[in-house]
């Protein structure tokens, strides 16, 4: 087979953004996807939030890619007709002990150049959302919501219009790194040769990296999975904005997000799981909803009994465990592993969707 310019492994939102960027730079691109559709895992099983860039450590790749990605994403949504809404978000302290944490979050937001995050008194927050219960809040007007599938279709459309090709049901078995080229062995197909290779395999990215002969396996991080369950509200939403509690270890707490039709959903929680591999991994246990009621009633005391219905679940690609500090995104290029033309994307969880266009730019720069 004639050698391709580039192969992208994984047709999630970041893989599609990378393929789009490479195709628009004039590269001949093939996207390999093991599933029978695009974005079937983390990219379509999340809160569909456009994050402002509030929580992440100053100078981290998460912070930089989120803030720049959010700016690019809003522009992209407008220019490409991707359904979205600048809904705004309230981060609420439900007792006095959490007020100092709000101050720290605001300081972090401002350090990340998200300067529109403002403090609100209880009265100001309730003027926006009367059913809310809190002692103080932060308001982020630049947080929004988006149709993630429409976004992925737009990225794919841009890439295909520049000649990129999508190969579904094409699970990668292993890769041989040769001089100035990569030989990819895909189940049921002849070997594919490429001059550049981007590993955007999401949940399986570390496993894919370790399947590459000629890559130092110890450079790949751990591959861990944190499941998040969501529950739908069986009544009209009491809120018109997103509502988040003060963050908890492993996630941002059980928060309220809205879809573009205004339907409320609550989640995700954090459930560490050992393995993934089938549709059963995404089942939502109705019994887990019981622990949601107490968490939600801290900021919405009016939640009726029996109002939460099983919605859907997603799994975050983690590279550190529940007792470890939250890791940064990794865009691992030749400066780390010394393999020209190879880039790995590790641990791209939230805010990966928001950061997708900025991460794609980073990958293109790594590839030269």
Sign of CA dihedral 82, 227, 207, 55: positive
Res 168: pLDDT: 98
Q: Render pLDDT for 208-238 as a digit per residue (tens, 0 to 9).
A: 999 999 999 999 999 999 999 999 999 999 9
Please report the pLDDT score of residue 304 as a whole number: 96
Report the candidate in 288, 305, 278 with the shortest Cα–Cα distance to residue 203.
278
With bands split at pLDDT 50, 70 and 90, how would you rate the model's confidence at 180?
A: confident
Strands 212-213 and 264-267: unpaired
What is the spatial distance between Cα 66 and Cα 112, in angstroms, rounded to a whole number? 10
Residue pair 211/172 in contact by the 8 Å Cβ criterion: yes
Quote the CA–CA distance of 8 and 16 in Å, as a whole number. 8
**pLDDT per residue as tens digits for the range 79-126:** 999 999 999 999 999 999 999 999 999 999 999 999 999 999 999 999
Neighbouring CB atoms inside 10 A of 179's CB total 6
Strand partners, 345: 331
Quick check: 48 and 113 in contact, CB under 8 A? no
| 251: confidence class by pLDDT, cuts 50, 70, 90 | low
Which pLDDT score, from 0 to 100, does residue 48 have? 96
Share of the chain above pLDDT 90, in %: 92
- Helices and strands (DSSP H and E) totals, the chain: 9, 21
- Over the chain, what is the mean pLDDT? 95
- Grade residue 276 by pLDDT with cuts at 50, 70 and 90: confident
Band of pLDDT at residue 301, cut at 50, 70 and 90: very high
Nearest residue to 54 (alpha-carbon basis) of 44, 62, 45: 62
pLDDT at residue number 279 = 67
Cα 66 from chain centroid?
A: 10
8 A C-beta contact, residue 247 and residue 230: no
Round the CA-based radius of gyration of the chain to a whole number and report it.
21
Q: Nearest CA to 279 among 26, 63, 16, 36?
A: 36
What whole-number distance in Å separates Cα of residue 243 and Cα of residue 131?
Answer: 11
Compute the distance between CA of residue 50 and CA of residue 85 in angstroms, rounded to an integer: 9
Query: What's the rounded mean pLDDT across residues 263-273?
Result: 93
Specify the 3-state DSSP secondary structure of 39.
Answer: coil
User: Can you tell me the distance from the alpha carbon of 36 to that of 321, in angstroms, rounded to the nearest whole number?
Assistant: 30
Does 243 score more than 90 pLDDT?
A: yes
Which uninterrupted H or E stretch holds 118? strand 118-121
Q: Which helix (H) or strand (E) segment is 104 a member of?
A: helix 99-111
Residues 116-163 have pLDDT tens digits of 999 999 999 999 999 999 999 999 999 999 999 999 999 999 999 999
252 pLDDT more than 80:
no
Q: Which residue has the higher pLDDT, 323 or 132?
A: 132
How many residues are recorded in the chain? Answer: 368
pLDDT value of residue 253: 79
Residue ranges and CATH numbers for the domains of the chain are: 4-47+149-222+325-367 (3.50.50.60), 89-141+224-318 (3.30.9.10)
- At residue 275, the pLDDT reads 80
**Cα 255 versus chain centre, distance:** 16
Q: Is the pLDDT of residue 349 over 90?
A: yes
Q: pLDDT of 31-74, one tens digit each?
A: 999 999 999 999 999 999 999 999 999 999 999 999 999 999 99
Tens of pLDDT, residues 281-298: 899 999 999 989 999 999
pLDDT above 70: residue 1? no
């Amino acid at each position: 087979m004639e050698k391709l310019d580039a192969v992208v492994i994984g047709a999630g939102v970041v893989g599609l953004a990378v393929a789009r960027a490479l195709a628009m730079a004039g590269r001949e691109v093939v996207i390999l996807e093991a599933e029978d559709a695009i974005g079937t895992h983390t990219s379509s099983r999340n809160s569909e939030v456009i994050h402002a860039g509030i929580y992440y450590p100053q100078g981290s790749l998460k912070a930089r890619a989120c803030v720049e990605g959010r700016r690019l994403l809003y522009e992209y949504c407008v220019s490409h007709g991707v359904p979205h809404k600048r809904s705004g978000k309230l981060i609420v302290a439900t007792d006095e002990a959490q007020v100092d944490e709000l101050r720290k979050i605001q300081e972090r937001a401002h350090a990340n150049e998200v300067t529109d995050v403002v403090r609100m008194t209880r009265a100001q927050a309730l003027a926006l959302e009367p059913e809310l219960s809190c002692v103080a809040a932060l308001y982020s007007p630049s947080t929004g919501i988006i149709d993630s599938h429409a976004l992925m279709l737009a990225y794919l459309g841009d890439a295909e219009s520049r000649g990129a090709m999508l190969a579904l049901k094409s699970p990668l078995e292993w890769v041989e790194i040769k001089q100035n080229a990569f030989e990819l062995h895909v189940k049921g197909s002849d070997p594919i040769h490429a001059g550049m290779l981007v590993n955007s395999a999401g949940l399986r990215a570390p496993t894919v990296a370790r399947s590459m002969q000629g890559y130092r396996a110890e450079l790949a991080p751990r591959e861990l999975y944190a499941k998040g369950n969501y529950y739908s509200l069986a009544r009209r939403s009491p809120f018109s904005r997103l509502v988040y509690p003060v963050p908890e270890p492993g996630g941002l707490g059980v928060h309220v997000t809205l879809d573009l039709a205004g339907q409320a959903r609550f989640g995700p929680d954090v459930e560490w799981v050992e393995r993934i591999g089938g549709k059963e991994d995404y089942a939502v246990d109705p019994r887990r909803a019981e622990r949601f009621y107490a968490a939600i009633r801290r900021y919405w005391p009016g939640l009726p009994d029996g109002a939460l219905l099983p919605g859907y679940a997603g799994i975050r690609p983690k590279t550190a465990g529940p007792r470890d500090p939250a890791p940064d995104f990794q865009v691992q290029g030749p400066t780390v592993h010394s393999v020209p033309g190879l880039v790995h994307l590790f641990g791209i969880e939230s805010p990966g969707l928001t950061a997708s266009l900025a991460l794609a730019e980073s990958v293109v720069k790594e590839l030269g």
